[in-house]
Chains A and B, each alone.
Chain A
Amino acid sequence: MTGPRAPWVLLVALLATGLGLHDGFFGPRAVSVLLEDAAILLTASLGAGIVVAAGSIDLSIGSVAALGSLVAARLSQSGVPLPLAAACAVAVGALFGAGQGWWIARRGLPAFLVTVAGLFAARGAAWSITTGSIPCGTEASAWFDDATYLLPMGYRLTPTALVALTATAVVALWITRRPAGRALLATGGDAEAARLQGVDTSSVVVGAHAASGALAALSGVMFLGIAFAGDAALGSGLELDALAAAVVGGIALSGGVHPPLAAWVGAMILTLIKVLIVRDGSLDASWARIAGGALLLLAAIASRRPVASSKS
């Protein structure tokens, strides 16, 4: 089965498997842990999805996440309140992404090369802050430790999960309801046609990369909520997992296709597979990666264009 419903069917199947195999799989604690586990990948894949939908690619996500986590940790350590520190980190990510977008859209350089350069540059910038890790301020740590948001029936959300879900909702609304969302899909589908219809495609690409950078940095900031520290080694390979999640969720690499909740579905599927395999215990954790690769293959086959309209 292909089409936009396939990832949802898979997600439901995985959830059903979890429910069948483990007691309390939908219990308050398990759900909270699952969402927390998925938060970083989810946030990173939102950015990857936007960039891919615009017909571009961003390989710098992992490095920008590391940079973002270090900026936020360093600021919070020196007494800056956490929201401000996080905002600064996200701004750094957005600027970095916009810079890459500028090279791609305005200078016409291949996105692959520009973001590989970005991968090295952001990692270098992160390493120039520190090569190790920076603990965040005591107030921030204490807050991360305590803060949960109560939902009905005893369910709780950690701050990272809440932020990730909010970001998901914002992106979904943006794509479906805003003109910018339609401009994004038009640009990714056929940049030339979009330009002729009056879409400022360069701005769309710059904006998509800025969003990806901001979300990558945000995913780095979330790492503070899990480890109470920023880390220079964070996120190595995150860009590829994010790309895989986006494609598994139904975003076509050829651009122009972005089901509203694709990144969420993709990230949840990949995280659930990992959780199920780890909880089962009889399979090596490496199988999670192998399953992820297999899913990516299926998703890519499902999303390819028919021969006649394939780009040469």
Chain B
Amino acid sequence: MTPARRAWSALALLVVVDLVMIPDFHRIAWVGGAWRGLPIDILEHGARLCLVAIGAALVVATGGVDLGIGTVMALSGALAARLSAEGHGFPVVASAAIGIGVAVGLVNAAMVVVGRMPPIVATLVPMVAGRGVAHLVAGGAILAVDAPWAVRLGSGTWLGMPIAVWVATGVIAVVALLLRRTAVGAGLAAVGSNPAACRIAGVPSGRLITLAYATSGTFAAIAGLLAAADVRSADAHNLGQFVELDAVVAVVIGGTAISGGVFSLGGALAGALFLQTLTVTLHAAGVRSDVAPLPKALLVLVAAVVSHPQFRIRRTRSAS
């Protein structure tokens, strides 16, 4: 079974458990022109994690890691709130927010590609500095975001589904199509598995790595917009905190090797939805919120053990 399929199976299993355990889980009702219910909630609130997990998967595929995701969310949210409060319309707000995401991604890529810095330090730079900038942008306050675009983006629906779900679906579909139709996906994995061979074979490693970080920054910025719209406010301190870790966890659950070289978009998607469903499940199962991080810890460890090449080698050895 491929790792991605394992992640989808785990998700399916969790959903079955939920169907049995949570009495209202299967109840999806048509209320006021939109579907409502627990699964819809999972999709709506999981949309952001799905987006950043896809971005993180591309970066991890190249053998890197993006610790700046949460900070970019805070930056984009704060910038959107500020511009919105100054009376700018959605096109300006959105392009500025996404622009800052692209910019941070490009800076990360420059540090990794040109500066030859280890990705973990390179992306630690925006993580340390970024929230400071977000505070400055927000003027040290939690800004309210109550423009019409935020209301639509945060709680609007289209064809019965939350807008956030449509945004995530659209963006992910474009990425999936690009990776399938072009050699970019193969290139990313190649860069991650053997940079030296790539250099010799003439693979444009630098451009591919840049693309990965820029995409991750862009998706983090979109997730920041969605998060700010969801709660109608931008809190430079808390918005997106630790999302980068959740994204990495989702990516690893989905079978992308943390050392790079192998990646699965579908797996990352399954991993993100699994994490979101797990949160809902634990909550519904009455697991005290005070121990909620523990199952996550276990999950990371299991995913790490199962996905580790040595584990597979050991298993095949003991089988033979």
Contact = CB atoms under 8 A, between A and B. Distances in A.
Interface string A291-312: 0111011001100110100101
Contacts of A125: 294
Contact of B131 (A57, A131, A289): A289
Given A108-B308, A108-B310, A253-B121, A304 B128 contact: no
A159 interface: no
B196 A312 contact: yes
Most central of B111, B124, B248 by chain A CB within 10 Å: B124
A294 B129 contact: yes
A183 interface: no
A243 B292 contact: no
Interface stretch (A9-17, A79-87, A110-118, A170-178): A110-118
Interface string B97-137: 00000000000000100011110111011111111110110
A304 B116 contact: yes
A108 B293 CA distance: 24
A121 interface: yes
A243 B120 CA distance: 10
Given A124-B291, A289-B131, A110 B258 contact: yes
B256 to A, nearest CB: 12
Given A109-B305, A253-B120, A120 B300 contact: yes
A121 B128 contact: no
B167 interface: no
A107 B196 CA distance: 28
A128 B291 contact: yes
Nearest to A128: B291
Interface string B281-320: 0000000111111101110110111001010000000000
Contacts of A243: 124
B259 interface: yes
Contacts of A108: 308, 310
Contact of A244 (B128, B249, B296): B128
A202 B127 CA distance: 31
A304 B140 contact: no
Contact of B293 (A127, A247, A305, A312): A127
B65 interface: yes
A1 interface: no
A288 interface: yes
B130 A304 contact: no
A305 to B, nearest CB: 8
B129 A290 contact: yes
B290 A128 contact: yes
Contact of A113 (B67, B290, B304): B304
A100 to B, nearest CB: 10
A254 B305 contact: no
B156 interface: no
Contacts of B310: 107-108
A110 B259 contact: yes
A57 B293 contact: no
Contacts of B124: 240, 243-244, 247, 296
Nearest to A63: B293
Contacts of B300: 113, 116-117, 120
B297 A124 contact: yes
B116 to A, nearest CB: 5
Interface in A14-40: none
Interface string B155-186: 00000000000000000000000000000000
A286 B116 contact: no
Given A108-B310, A109-B305, A312-B195, A301 B294 contact: no
A296 B125 contact: yes
A114 B298 CA distance: 10
Chain B, interface size category, equals 35 or more
Nearest to B127: A240
A284 B121 contact: no
Contacts of B258: 110, 112-113
A289 B296 contact: no
A107 B309 CA distance: 11
A103 interface: yes
B304 A110 contact: yes
Nearest to A247: B121
A231 interface: no
Given A121-B294, A127-B293, A243-B124, A112 B136 contact: no
Interface in A255-312: 284, 286-290, 292-294, 296-297, 300-301, 304-305, 307, 310, 312
Contact of A240 (B128, B132, B290, B304): B128
B145 interface: no
Interface in A97-141: 103, 107-110, 112-114, 116-121, 123-125, 127-128, 130-131
A312 B291 CA distance: 40
A252 to B, nearest CB: 9
Nearest to A299: B121
B292 to A, nearest CB: 7
A292 B128 contact: yes
Closest 7 CB pairs of A and B: A293-B129, A289-B132, A121-B297, A124-B294, A124-B293, A120-B297, A286-B135
25 contacts: A108-B308, A110-B304, A113-B252, A114-B301, A116-B248, A116-B300, A118-B297, A120-B293, A120-B296, A121-B298, A123-B293, A124-B294, A124-B296, A128-B294, A131-B290, A243-B124, A247-B124, A286-B135, A289-B135, A290-B133, A296-B128, A297-B111, A300-B111, A300-B122, A312-B196
Given A117-B298, A120-B297, 20 more contacts: A59-B245, A107-B305, A108-B308, A110-B259, A116-B300, A117-B301, A117-B304, A121-B294, A124-B293, A127-B293, A240-B128, A254-B118, A286-B140, A289-B131, A290-B132, A290-B136, A293-B125, A304-B116, A305-B116, A312-B196
